[in-house]
Chain A
Amino acid sequence: MGNVIEARGLSKRYGRTMAVNNIDLQVPAGRIVGLIGPNGAGKTSALKAILGLATYDGHLSVLGKDPASERAALMEDVCFIADVAVLPRWIRVREAIEVVERIHPRFSREKCQRYLASTKVKPEHRVKQLSKGMVVQLHLAIVMAIDAKLLVLDEPTLGLDILYRKQFYTNLLNDYFDENRSILITTHQVEEVEHILSDLIFIQDGRIALDCSMDEVQEQYVELMVRKDRVDAARALAPLFERELMGRHIFLYKGVDRETLAGLGEMHTPSVADLFVATMSVGGAA
């Protein structure tokens, strides 16, 4: 299967600032990609371009379509939850379901109602009567009932408590994801998504700072916790990043021989958060 998203030289300019600066991007089918970057890095701008919500420069193809000119057709195969709480506040649950059913050819009312049955969301409720967590449950139920090829989630769990956040990703993995679908997620809560991601893309100042699969992360990156007397030896191996934690030095290496490192201290695979901090600190040298 080909790439779900393919971007070449994608740029988005707002006045003098380049929100997205000439990036190349490929998302193959059947992957869960985390698009991670600090605030203002261009994540949302890139997503908006992918979803046909904004104009852009460069080449961009999503499921073989040009998002800017074919948004309506594209949305038959793409779903997105952009932030929590974008469901219209006036709408009733049954109206939301009906309107999506009438507009979306791939929506299954039965599926949606099945997902909702396990929640406290009732058909007669208006969105404004629901708690933030319930609104997200409703939105997720609607989206999961759509047989789409690509699901884009932009900060889908922002402002939710931990129970809802956990449940959100559990539902997504158990009831939705399969090898024919792709999911693109942006979030600040990296810890929550790292175990479900298959690929990582770091974005910084509108450029891609890192683009690799989680397998590659495990293969190539090593975090080494070094005792004080070995610090100089560790530094000599050109670490990407160094930090200090409670008197111990922690180094991050890419592609350094593991046997060499083993003698210097304790090795483990870095968390996405650590990798992110390291990558952001060195300005995309990884």
Chain B
Amino acid sequence: MKRFKALLLREYWENRVAFRSTPVALFAIYMVGALMTLVTFNYFDHEFQTMREAVRYLAQFDESIRAHGVYLWNLASSTLFTVVLGFVVFFYLLGSLYDDRKDRSILFWKSLPASDTLTIASKLFTAMFVVPSLFWLAYVLSMLALYLIGTITVLVLGENPWTLFVGIGNPFKAWGLVLVSFYAQAIWALPVYGWLMFVSSCAPRLPLLFALVPPAVFAVLQIWIDFLRTFTLKTNLGGILWEWYANNPMINCCGEVNGRVDAIMGIPITDTFDHAPTIANMLDRLFSVQMAWGLLVATALLAGALWFRKRATDN
């Protein structure tokens, strides 16, 4: 356990820019965005007259509608973090078993009594849980700051922020849901994480190319052959990946659910799963046949990555 923690620390130190500076930058973007909004209002709008009207207009709505709006606002604000998190984890995993082979520091790491299994586990754990937690922390801090800015603004405008938005809509529920969706997504994405680590463990150079080109070529050939044979587009790699992406348990956009605007998980192009953002729906995905296949694929790919890692040196 002590070694595992040390390896996690190593991953954090090695990827400080991606793991720490990126979420901080996102926080900064939110703050700058909020301040720019206020400055813009102030510039065009004498003494925030329009904003004052807008706040009064919002205050007229029924509390349940406002509460739902606040809830959606909390969920929707996670989208930027979700998307950037995806990129960060993607590139992190792609370099995870490649970078130290490239700069030869693998010879140093392998001189320490930490097994290759533990090393791979620490990298996977970092991608699945450490990075999402850090991004989630930045998201929650951003929301707290936005709440604060909103509260001060509304107070200055002479309305009651508590009854308007602070005291309604239970932000903790939204924040908790976002965190759980990050973790659920990490499990859902295991076959892809496995693929990235596998490529990272064996690519002689340019892991990005090795990660993207073979599946793309394979998928295109599959579609083409299917098309020639049957003139139909049946299940193929491209279709599976699209289905995988569409059903991912991340809260990443708004859409219509049960006749009203709501946050949704994935992209509702299929009705295999319910896209409403609830814990039950996330569990539904994680205990599905699709997930079982995904775990099988992930296990095989991670075993492959371990096989290569054991034999990997500086050349």
Contact = CB atoms under 8 A, between A and B. Distances in A.
Given A86-B108, A89-B103, A102-B3, A75 B113 contact: yes
B141 interface: no
Given A54-B311, A102-B5, A103-B3, A86 B104 contact: yes
Contacts of B106: 86
Contacts of B111: 51, 75, 79-82
Contact of A53 (B9, B105, B313): B313
Interface in B1-48: 2-3, 5-7, 9-10, 13-14
A75 B103 CA distance: 21
A88 B104 CA distance: 8
B235 interface: no
B271 interface: no
Nearest to A55: B311
Given A48-B313, A90-B14, A83 B107 contact: yes
B314 interface: yes
Given A54-B311, A55-B311, A82-B107, A102 B113 contact: no
Interface string A66-78: 0000011111100
- Among B9, B100, B103, B112, max chain A CB count under 10 A is at B112
B296 interface: no
A51 B313 CA distance: 11
B311 A99 contact: no
B112 A88 contact: no
B205 interface: no
A76 B113 contact: yes
Contacts of A85: 104
Contacts of B311: 54-55
A103 B110 contact: no
B115 interface: yes
A54 B310 CA distance: 8
A108 to B, nearest CB: 15
Interface residues of B, number: 28
A135 to B, nearest CB: 11
B150 to A, nearest CB: 39
Interface string B133-177: 000000000000000000000000000000000000000000000
A100 B104 contact: no
Contacts of B113: 72-76, 103-105
B105 A88 contact: yes
A86 B107 contact: yes
Interface in B67-118: 100, 103-116, 118
Contact of B108 (A52, A54, A88, A104): A88
B10 to A, nearest CB: 5
Interface in A169-212: none
Interface string A28-67: 0000000000000000000010011111000000000000
Given A53-B313, A75-B112, A75-B113, A99 B9 contact: yes
A73 B3 CA distance: 13
Interface residues of A, number: 34
Contact of B112 (A89, A91, A104): A104
Contacts of B115: 71-72
A87 interface: yes
Contacts of A219: none
A53 B309 CA distance: 10
Interface string A103-118: 1110000000000000
Contacts of B108: 86-88, 139
Contact of B2 (A79, A90, A102, A139): A102
A98 B255 CA distance: 49
A95 interface: yes
A102 B12 CA distance: 15
Given A88-B105, A95-B13, A71 B110 contact: yes
Nearest to B13: A95
Given A95-B13, A102-B9, A86 B105 contact: yes
A89 B105 contact: yes
Interface string B230-247: 000000000000000000
Interface string B304-315: 000000010110
B105 A87 contact: yes
A44 B172 CA distance: 58
Given A72-B115, A75-B113, A88 B100 contact: yes
8 contacts: A51-B111, A55-B311, A80-B107, A86-B106, A88-B14, A88-B100, A99-B13, A104-B112
Q: Top 7 A-B pairs ranked by shortest CB distance?
A: A102-B6, A72-B115, A88-B105, A75-B113, A86-B107, A82-B107, A76-B113
Given A86-B106, A102-B6, 20 more contacts: A48-B313, A51-B111, A72-B113, A72-B115, A72-B116, A75-B112, A79-B111, A82-B111, A82-B314, A83-B104, A87-B108, A88-B105, A89-B105, A91-B13, A99-B13, A103-B3, A103-B7, A104-B113, A105-B113, A139-B108
